Structure 1
Amino acid sequence: MRWSLSRPLAALASLAALASPALAEPILQSDSLNACQENSGFTASLFKVIFTPNNNSANVDIVAVSSVQGSVIFDVSITAYGFEIIRKQVNPCDAGLAGLCPMTAGKIPLNFNLFVDDAAVAQIPSIAYTFPDLDAKVRVFINMTDGSEAGHSVACVEAVISNGKTVDLLGVKWATAIVAGLALVSSAIVSGLGHQNAAAHVAANALSLFGYFQAQAMLGLTAVRLPPVVMSWTQDFQWSMGIIELDFMQDIFTWYQRATGGTPSTIFDSLTTVSVQVQKRAVEMAGAGMGLAKRSLAMMPASIAEPVTAVVKRGLMKRDNIQTSSGSYIVFGIQRAAFRAGIESTNLFMTGLIFFCLLVIITCACVAAFKGICELAAKKKWMDGDKFLEFRNGWQTVLKGILFRLTLIGFPQMTILCLWEFTQKDSAALVVLAVFFLLGMTGTLGWAASKVIMIARRSVTMHHNPAYILFSDPQALNKWGFLYVQFRASAYYFIVPVLGYVLVKSMFVAFAQNSGTVQAVGFIILEAAALIAASVLRPWMDKKTNSFNIAICAMNFINSIFLLIFTEVFNQPPLVTGVVGVVLWIANAVFALILLLMLILSTIFVFFRENPDGRYQIMADDRTSFMKSQTHLTTTTELDALGATARGDKSGFKGGLDLDDDAESITSDSVRRQTERLSVPSGGNSVSGGYSNRARSPASPAMPLFPADTPRSPPRYNDRPASPFGAHNRPSSPFTTQTRPVSPYGAPNNNNNNGAAFRAQNNSR
């Protein structure tokens, strides 16, 4: 079968770039023609080819620049997922196209419709029109056939193609955002209703899921050359990094940047005249562009050559949108994600910053409105007066905790964007904003983490366990709890390595935009460390939550290995890279769906169960023994009085502790003096001075926050009755097995020998 020029052009058009998924008729399209060798003598600033098989026609719109003169032959290679399916040589003289036979130097504009015969269409498999984000390309080597360079390749061009089907869907973005947001809101409502255990589980899983979404988005922000399906999949989660496009906001950001001395990029304003290359890495394309410039700039007047050279050099130094000598733009890494989202790269920082600020403002307004609605409903008797009572009395402290939680959620987003802005310097005002938000958020979270560690250490010193103050003081719990409630009490410190992990990972994303290999290696090291730490320490609150987070760490580690494969450091066949890209998409899509379903079901069960806390096993740190709970403390028995003593709710206790300024707290001198007045003096139990006069926790320090039921061997969880107190379902009291009245602070009354034995049993080992 004799090949004409129509066949490679048809194949080129038939394996095209992204089109709208709403199109009903099959379509294949390509939007850019990329140089694929150094010193390429042929390139195109504009390249648009659209092939519609229903009418067997291809529309071709090309503005090419050639430095090749003489007779040439085209060596055409068509590949799909790295597998070569067609390899042909085509003589342009057979088609009789002026300017290509022979080729002439200069600018070659071509705009025509090309008829494609049925035989050429039949060679395109039907799956090419339906499989999303088709990874296919056409590569054409232009070989000389006469002169001293006969048989030598003087140019190489490559077109990436797709069928208009993509996994980058608006519905996926909305679905993931709504589920994560509703889960966080649900946890706040459940907490306000008094179900602390259920609220902590839902919030912990929602935060972990949100972190997984951000990890997916970070893959798309790397400078690694990603397969099309991976680029589209990671683009689904860029909303978690604040990369959301709104036209009117983009206009405002462009105006602000100009007003503060910056120069906004205008890449979207020139799409009708230039192409944008989104798959090549910066170093590769910059080298190709500068190599071509050496040959093509000599043909241009000095007034044109100097500005073009300046643009390319500026792009290499600033890592801004690089423009080749032919006029086409190159985007990669963070700029690639911005371009796919429809955002100018110089507006990306402001976009993420404003959306984070809007999230904070909207949340504050919703909390204040909910407070007003609750007060109005209670006043009008629309709901019981004790509903959301703790929130209504301390809503300002709760709001502070919510703002801290939002800071933690937005920390990965803002660290990446702020650090990246330092390399871009879009304007002086934007750099100042980046410094302010980076230092402010890092300092705030670091200070909050140090407060948690200080409170926990104070609790360990005074009560032999960190959970006593961390969970008994409602102000500390509402304000700082976002940093430690998802962890077990003894792992209160784990928030520090989590923050360090996020900060270092953000540095790799922001500062290594010119080297995808460095980013991939850094990701592997960080994800391996995170997986090992999570698997060995198991710091989360219970077995289910640990399994949930360890699974996320394992998937992130696998993704980092895939990312290293995409860098092609192993020199694997292109088919391997294409297959790995599909595997990454399928594996993460299934994993994300499972996580979403788990979170949805657990949130629904919380609202439709009479006792949501009963669905979860009592946590090993026994934190519920120290929490105030209107649900569980509803009687006035001796056990309730002992529980109130454990939490510090005796008469004279000063509520609203200000642990921020190290003012009076559960362990302050005033409370210790009150404890001494309430103690029952006995000969052997009075120890003058020192630590022995301090208030002791009623929990047994011999077993982590589990009371001792017998003097010799404290029972395990499985040995306890399922519900020793009927419907109240409270944990057993540390004093129910004692045969004599016992002081709330650990000393049996009027029995020195028993008191000594009791103290010996409860001393820390």
Structure 2
Amino acid sequence: MASLLGAPLLLLFYLVALILPTNAENILQSSSLNTCQDNSGFTASLFNVVYSPKDEKAYVNISAISTIEANVLFDVLISIYGYSFFHKVINPCDVNLAGFCPMVSGKLGNPFSLDIDPSATGVIPSIAYQFPDLDAKVRIFINATSGTKAGTSVACIEATVSNGKTVDLLGVKWASAIVTGLALASSAVISGLGHSNAASHVAASALALTSYFQAQAMVGLVGIKLPPVVQSWTQDFQWSMGIINVGFMQDIFTWYQRSTGGTAATIIDTLENVSVEVQKRAAPLIAPAAGLFRRATAMVPRSVLKHASSLAKRGNIQTDYGSYVVYGIQRVAFRAGIETTNLFMTGLIFFYIIMVATALFVAAWKGFCEVAAKARWIKSDTFLEFRNGWLTVLKGILFRITLIGHPPVTILCLWELTQKDSPAEMVLAVFFLLFVNGALGFAAYKVIRIAHRSVSLHRNPAYILFSDPQTLNKWGFLYIQFRASAYYFIIPLLCYTVVKSFFISLAQRAGTVQAIALLIIEAGALITAAVMRPWMDKKMSSFNIAICSVNFVNAIFLLIFTNIFGQPDIVNGVVGVVLWILNAVCTLVLLIMLIASTLIVFFTDNPDGRYKFMADDRTSFMKSQSQLGTTNELDALGATARGEKPGYGSGMDLEDGDNSIAPSSFRQQPHSRSTSFNRTGAPSTAHSTSSNSHHDRPRTSVDPAMPFLSSGANISRNGSPSNVSAGNRSQHNAR
């Protein structure tokens, strides 16, 4: 049997060797021999080949069937990145290929090795040395020259060749994940130390970078044929979608699915016996594969047919010669070493593992701070606001994680509804889809409600949003990255995520539809970002607009990959390399910016001084115990005597009705005389209903450009307008 296949494979590797590097450390490998026409007379369910220039041998493991009995010619075509550089028609009789002059039928299934002539590596394109994820293909048409099918192609086989180098690197995954995680943790520490302005900038940058990582991961989830380098690069960021392979967890997920009435896929477990084609898009290539699948299962027992049919409905198409075809989300799962039926549970469980781990860490940090303060390892007022209101802080952190997990949870839950892995998993998908979107929708509603109340009372949405620590710590994750007048922008952002998730998860079989929809969505996002610029300052606006621009360019590239323009293959190859380089450079620059800004904040005496105060005057409203002077000590004692906790004495109950959405400083209190400042800076005296508590804001000058204050407004020393109308003052006193 080896002699039957040995001749054509020897010819194949003589030709493929032309694109191999001569370096001994380089290898040539292929994991599947795919058919490229219907009714091919030569098919293979398993094809694993590794060629080493050092050994000058090709090691072959194949399981194939030949049904051809005729004189044939080999029409060989070799391409690299879509560029065809070798084309030759070879008569097997001229080169004395045993078993192919004429070609005979038979079954092949024995591993063997082939000797490769060193002269075959004499001509090597330079691109083979420079780029990882080599996009090289060898296609052979077997044309009959005798018999009833003379002059026609009786078989077509194609092997995708790799040089063993890839950009799908564990180091890239760990580096991007660690940098992002440390930046988020650093923002929390910086905020606890009292540098709220610097902390908000670091947190906003880290969140924007995380969203960019998720956008790159979504590129790999589309049901479009992607070049190898694009598949590998997007695989580096699938951790941001919770797609992480842990062996014992996969065993648990498989057990859970089977125990709840599902049928687990076994593609990963059968790789030693079956090849998997991972570069097929849903249409039009899935339809012929499904037809082959139906013809192949005509003689299969009912029990086996039922299992195979369920896999076919989920996208795991099995061809008539035994190999599988995966695409889109299944392709990402396969490359991650995860069974396609375990992908939903993998992403969902990792999302909530992070939430539980974070909650435990925050509780442990609270306990440590209390012990350290009593043992005088730290000052008694260090992290005081966190220690007094840690439950509110914890709620805000969990909401922020929910915001980060919104895209992966929405995509995977919607996708699970199409896969139907098991009844229990479908129930989980519906529950968490509604839970996550409902929680974020409720949080957005609360922010808008509080902002409207602040505008009605103080003509400034920033006042309550930033002056009350409970509001800021619990709901601030939704608006702190935006300017105060754009507090509502979280709603368009959530809608953008949901719409994008719908097309990615529900249009897996329509790659062209996905590409067009994503192009429109990303164009709208870019235009909105460039026109509105809702972020807190110019730096954050530039940061996010750059991300939107790259996402829009990626959407254009996806449309090109669909071949909707009928372009030659070399265009797709070049565009794939450009996409990788563009995103790699952008990722590197953004990571360096985030690392540099975080380190500078930690090693600067006054981190807040690095950033300009926002025009919405939020800093003057923020309460930070570390920024208050010693003159407030008596106020703190008075607050303690009244039973208030320092930093949390505003009395705002966010869960009550509208009547409770004003800080306690504007509830009925004895009138006090306070000094305020008019536009010229001259002191003036005005009645103020605010209590002279430890929550008074630092003195601040008036920004003439502020749109929230009238021309004659005076600013009291707590940062609020002092010329409150009589009607409003009586309304406050009535409360």
Normalising by structure 2, report the TM-score: 0.88
Superposition deviation, residue 4 in structure 1: 8.2
Deviating more after overlay: 96-105 vs 382-391: 96-105
Residues of 2 paired with 1:214 and 1:552: CA distance?
11
Which residue is equivalent to 1:746? 722
Query: 3-state SS of the aligned residue for 2:47?
Result: strand
Are the equivalent residues in 2 in contact too, given 1:5–1:95 (CA < 8 A)?
Answer: no
Residues of 2 paired with 1:310 and 1:98: CA distance?
42
- Fraction of identical pairs, as percent: 61
**CA distance 1:27–1:744, shift in 2 (3 Å):** closer
Which residue is equivalent to 1:718? none
What are the Cα deviations for residues 197-233 of structure 1, in whole angstroms up to 9, with x where unaligned? 0000000000000000000000001111111111000
Query: 3-state SS of the aligned residue for 1:274?
Result: coil
Residues of 2 paired with 1:430 and 1:624: CA distance?
46
Residue 427 of structure 2 is aligned to residue 432 of structure 1: yes
**CA distance 1:292–1:91, shift in 2 (3 Å):** farther
Which residue is equivalent to 2:679? none
Which residue is equivalent to 2:680? none
What are the Cα deviations for residues 470-510 of structure 1, in whole angstroms up to 9, with x where unaligned? 01111010000000000000000000000000111111111
The amino acid that maps onto 2:253 is: F
Superposition deviation, residue 625 in structure 1: 1.1
* 1:310-325 alignment runs, 5 A limit: 314-316=310-312, 318-325=313-320
**CA distance 1:735–1:417, shift in 2 (3 Å):** closer
Residues of 1 paired with 2:554 and 2:649: CA distance?
51
**CA distance 1:103–1:472, shift in 2 (3 Å):** same
Residue 540 of structure 2 is aligned to residue 559 of structure 1: no
Deviating more after overlay: 238-247 vs 87-96: 87-96
Query: 3-state SS of the aligned residue for 2:223?
Result: coil
Query: 3-state SS of the aligned residue for 2:139?
Result: strand
Which residue is equivalent to 2:444? 449
Query: 3-state SS of the aligned residue for 1:636?
Result: helix
Which residue is equivalent to 1:335? 330
Which residue is equivalent to 2:732? none
Which residue is equivalent to 1:490? 485
**CA distance 1:744–1:61, shift in 2 (3 Å):** closer
Are the equivalent residues in 1 in contact too, given 2:74–2:140 (CA < 8 A)?
Answer: yes
Residues of 2 paired with 1:339 and 1:589: CA distance?
23
Are the equivalent residues in 2 in contact too, given 1:76–1:88 (CA < 8 A)?
Answer: yes
Which residue is equivalent to 1:20? none
Residue 487 of structure 2 is aligned to residue 506 of structure 1: no
Are the equivalent residues in 2 in contact too, given 1:30–1:162 (CA < 8 A)?
Answer: yes
Query: 3-state SS of the aligned residue for 1:47?
Result: strand
Residues of 2 paired with 1:439 and 1:109: CA distance?
51
Are the equivalent residues in 1 in contact too, given 2:19–2:125 (CA < 8 A)?
Answer: no
Superposition deviation, residue 307 in structure 1: 7.5
Residues of 2 paired with 1:169 and 1:498: CA distance?
31
Residues of 2 paired with 1:337 and 1:385: CA distance?
51
Deviating more after overlay: 358-367 vs 59-68: 59-68
Q: Which runs of 5+ in 2 are unaligned?
A: 1-6, 675-686, 692-696, 730-735
User: Which of 715, 725, 729 does residue 734 from structure 1 map onto?
Assistant: 715
**CA distance 1:654–1:188, shift in 2 (3 Å):** closer
User: Which of 326, 348, 356 does residue 351 from structure 2 map onto?
Assistant: 356
**CA distance 1:467–1:436, shift in 2 (3 Å):** same
* 1:272-671 alignment runs, 5 A limit: 272-290=272-290, 292=292, 297=296, 303-304=299-300, 314-316=310-312, 318-634=313-629, 636=631, 654-662=649-657, 665=660, 667=662
**CA distance 1:145–1:502, shift in 2 (3 Å):** same
Superposition deviation, residue 557 in structure 1: 0.3
Which residue is equivalent to 1:240? 240
Superposition deviation, residue 121 in structure 1: 1.9
Superposition deviation, residue 350 in structure 1: 0.9
Query: 3-state SS of the aligned residue for 1:304?
Result: coil
Which residue is equivalent to 2:706? 704
Residues of 1 paired with 2:434 and 2:24: CA distance?
50
Deviating more after overlay: 58-67 vs 155-164: 58-67
Are the equivalent residues in 2 in contact too, given 1:28–1:163 (CA < 8 A)?
Answer: yes
Residues of 1 paired with 2:645 and 2:484: CA distance?
24
Query: 3-state SS of the aligned residue for 1:282?
Result: coil
The amino acid that maps onto 2:210 is: F
Normalising by structure 1, report the TM-score: 0.84
Residue 661 of structure 2 is aligned to residue 674 of structure 1: no
Q: Which runs of 5+ in 1 are unaligned?
A: 18-22, 681-691, 715-732, 737-741, 749-754, 760-765
Which residue is equivalent to 2:733? none
The amino acid that maps onto 1:102 is: P
What are the Cα deviations for residues 618-669 of structure 1, in whole angstroms up to 9, with x where unaligned? 10100011111234321539xx99xx9xxxx99999534211222764637x
* 1:76-91 alignment runs, 5 A limit: 76-91=76-91
Residues of 1 paired with 2:293 and 2:361: CA distance?
56
**CA distance 1:544–1:129, shift in 2 (3 Å):** closer
The amino acid that maps onto 1:734 is: I
Are the equivalent residues in 2 in contact too, given 1:41–1:292 (CA < 8 A)?
Answer: no
Are the equivalent residues in 1 in contact too, given 2:467–2:622 (CA < 8 A)?
Answer: yes
Residues of 2 paired with 1:431 and 1:588: CA distance?
35
Are the equivalent residues in 1 in contact too, given 2:447–2:487 (CA < 8 A)?
Answer: yes
Are the equivalent residues in 1 in contact too, given 2:132–2:229 (CA < 8 A)?
Answer: yes
Superposition deviation, residue 289 in structure 1: 2.8
* 1:161-180 alignment runs, 5 A limit: 161-180=161-180
**CA distance 1:410–1:498, shift in 2 (3 Å):** same
Residues of 1 paired with 2:657 and 2:324: CA distance?
57
Residue-pair matches, total? 694
RMSD over aligned CA atoms reads: 3.3
**CA distance 1:519–1:293, shift in 2 (3 Å):** closer
Superposition deviation, residue 107 in structure 1: 3.0
User: Which of 1, 9, 15 does residue 13 from structure 2 map onto?
Assistant: 9
Superposition deviation, residue 28 in structure 1: 0.4
Are the equivalent residues in 2 in contact too, given 1:40–1:292 (CA < 8 A)?
Answer: no
